[in-house]
Structure 1
Amino acid sequence: MLTADLAPITPGAEPVTGAQHDGECIDTAAVPGGGTLRLMRFGSSFSIQLGEDELMGSDACQSEEALADLAIERMGEQHDRILIGGLGMGFTLKAALAALPASSSVVVAELVPQVVRWARAELAHLYGAALDDPRLTLDIRDVHDVIAEADGQFDAILLDVDNGPDGFIRPANDRLYCNWGLRDARRALRPGGILAVWSAYPDDAFRDRLEAAGFGVEEVELADELGADRAPYTIWLATRPLTAE
């Protein structure tokens, strides 16, 4: 189910050189609050970029899939409702749907409507049937707002909306990772629920903030599948305690 009307795509064919390695810009999308996303094609590969910085690429999906798999492994039998922040290229969503039972529901909060349009068009081959899964609800708005309105509604919250625990996409995203934002996330989870956060880099201060917000924290490093010379990814798995504190 979609909670916003989506207009048709207006594709472009803008050649890009230099830092983007002679790729073709298929389309662009304005990010609310500033910035522009670019959907790039490099031969048979696709990339979503913010300016000249790549946010995700179709050739690397293991860490995005692990974001879902690691969280669901730790949820036990408690998996009624999951929130995913950021649609991206659908890797986390597809992994979640594959691992969850038919009785579960998955909400994906996506800030940029154009990303959903890409998922239905140029990137449809990456999604398969995921967007038509009856367990899925697409909520076209800021994941922060979804979290802030929730009160013990989710068994897991999976965040992959920036390159790490800071407002990389837009400064307003800092509120997801600050002390009070993490307390909001804890309140949005049911007891025993998991907050999972993907990052391209480690951040000891963020781990400290998770613990200060009342989470039990596990930190997992994942090798970059594109090469051993690349820095590993980090996923934080923060659990809300089963008992009230």
Structure 2
Amino acid sequence: MLPRETLATARIPGGDTLTLVGHGRDFVIMLGRDELMGTRMRYSEEQLACLTLEQVAAPAPRVLIGGYGMGFTFRAALAALPAGGRVVVAEVVPEILDWARGPLAELTGDCLDDPRGEVAIADVAALVDDAVDGTTARYDAILLDVDNGPDGIVREGNERLYTRTGIARLRDALAPGGMLAVWSAAPDHKFTRRLRDAGFAVEERTVRARPNNKGPRHTIWFARRPG
């Protein structure tokens, strides 16, 4: 059996420690002792972008992604992005980009140099606030994969994203008809209800972690703002 090798660590502001682990040709990011993401089970994170952009009507969509991670959602969004579109990723851990250009460079490819995309070292909630307050334009799609679901396990500050107030802010940061998509490792019926109570039209889908229809089942909520 191949041993696991610790390649790097980084502290999450207001949270636990992330560890980048190599395992043969595969990589895993650990949160404490738990696997947060890995190269063997990326499909549902890619589908977060692909399935969302299939449903966005704006011809040149402005897209916000919460969390870079290993870049699965970001790269899939760039691949599916219509002409004239733009993707902004909010990432709170600067070292993540060092990993992307270092041990994960082969996985990263040239996505960080794509002129259609930008990775901002910022809290996604702050970028949402900017859109709500009119500092920046509203988004046609907001994709959240900053936790393992609608619960702030990665950092306590993320909790506010999933409250009734946080959901209302996300709604108001969207253009009319815009789409909020949230990735989760498991279903959460209370979160579904909060989305509907905020006025969203909600669809909940189950997506496998691997493209061969194997691996864990993950949940993605697609919540459309009325337009």
TM over 0.5: yes
Displacement, 1:172?
1.5
- Which structure has more relative contact order (CA 8 Å, sep 6+)? It is 2
After TM superposition, the structure 1 = structure 2 runs for residues 11-26 of structure 1, keeping only pairs within 5 Å, are 22-26=3-7
Match of 2:114 among 133, 150, 153: 133
Equivalent in the alignment of 2:18 = 37
Match of 1:202 among 166, 187, 205: 187
- Identical-residue share of aligned pairs (%): 52
Task: Tell me what 1:221 maps to.
Answer: 206
How far apart, in 2, do the equivalents of 1:62 and 1:206 lie?
A: 23
**Aligned twin of 1:62:** 43
Kindly state the Cα deviation for residue 224 of structure 1 after the two structures are TM-superposed.
3.3
- 2:72 corresponds, among 79, 91, 98, to 91
Report the secondary structure of 2:210's partner residue.
coil
Task: Say if 1:226 and 1:95 are closer, same or farther in 2 by CA, change over 3 A.
Answer: closer
1:28 paired with 2:28, answer no
Please name the residue that 1:147 is paired with. 128
Deviation, structure 1 residue 101? 2.3
Q: Secondary structure at the match of 2:27?
A: strand
**TM-score between the two structures when normalised by the length of structure 2:** 0.93
How far the C-alpha of 1:22 sits from its partner, in A, is 4.2
The residue number in structure 1 matching 2:53 is 72
Alpha-carbon distance between aligned partners in 2 of 1:199 and 1:64, rounded to the nearest angstrom = 10
2:164 matched residue in structure 1:
179
User: What is the distance in 2 between the residues matched to 1:217 and 1:65?
Assistant: 20
Following superposition, the deviation at residue 59 of structure 1 comes to 1.2
Report the CA distance between 1:64 and its aligned residue.
Answer: 0.7
CA deviation map 1:3-62 (0-9, x unaligned): xxxxxxxxxxxxxxxxxx941111100000131000000111100111110110011211
C-alpha separation in 1, matches of 2:205 and 2:39: 22
* Structure 1 pair 214–195 and aligned structure 2 pair: CA distance change class (3 A): same
Q: Give the match for residue 240 of structure 1.
A: 225
Aligned equivalent of 2:34 = 53
Q: From the superposition, tell whether residues 77 and 145 of structure 1 become closer, same or farther in structure 2 (CA, over 3 Å).
A: closer
Which moves more between the two structures, 167-176 or 182-191?
167-176
TM-score using structure 1 length: 0.86
Provide closer, same or farther for how the CA distance between residues 74 and 115 of structure 1 changes in structure 2, counting only shifts above 3 A. Answer: same
Return the offset for 1:230: 5.0
SS in 1 for 2:56: coil
CA separation of 1:226 and 1:168: change in aligned 2, threshold 3 A: farther
Cα deviation, residue 213, structure 1: 1.1
Q: Which of 91, 104, 112 is 1:110 aligned to?
A: 91
Residue 89 of structure 1: SS of its match in structure 2?
coil
Runs of 4+ in structure 1 displaced over 3 angstroms? 226-231
Give a deviation string over 1:200-226, Cα, whole Å, max 9, x none: 000000000001111110000012328
1:126 is paired with a residue of what secondary structure?
helix
Cα gap change, 1:222/1:27 in structure 2, threshold over 3 Å: closer, same or farther? Answer: same
Contact 1:211/1:217 (<8 A) preserved: yes
**Deviation, structure 1 residue 128:** 1.0
**1:57-95 CA deviation, whole Å, 9 max, x = no partner?**
011211011000111011124442100100011111111
Query: Whole-Å Cα distance in 1 between the matches of residues 57 and 11 of structure 2?
Result: 39
| 1:55–1:77 Cα change, 3 Å | same
| Contact 1:183-1:213 within 8 A present in 2 as well | yes
Structure 1: stretches of 5+ with no match in the other structure: 1-20
Q: Secondary structure at the match of 2:46?
A: helix
Contact 1:72 1:79 in 2 (8 A): no
Kindly tell me the number of residue pairs found equivalent between the two proteins: 222
CA-CA distance at 1:100 after TM superposition = 0.8
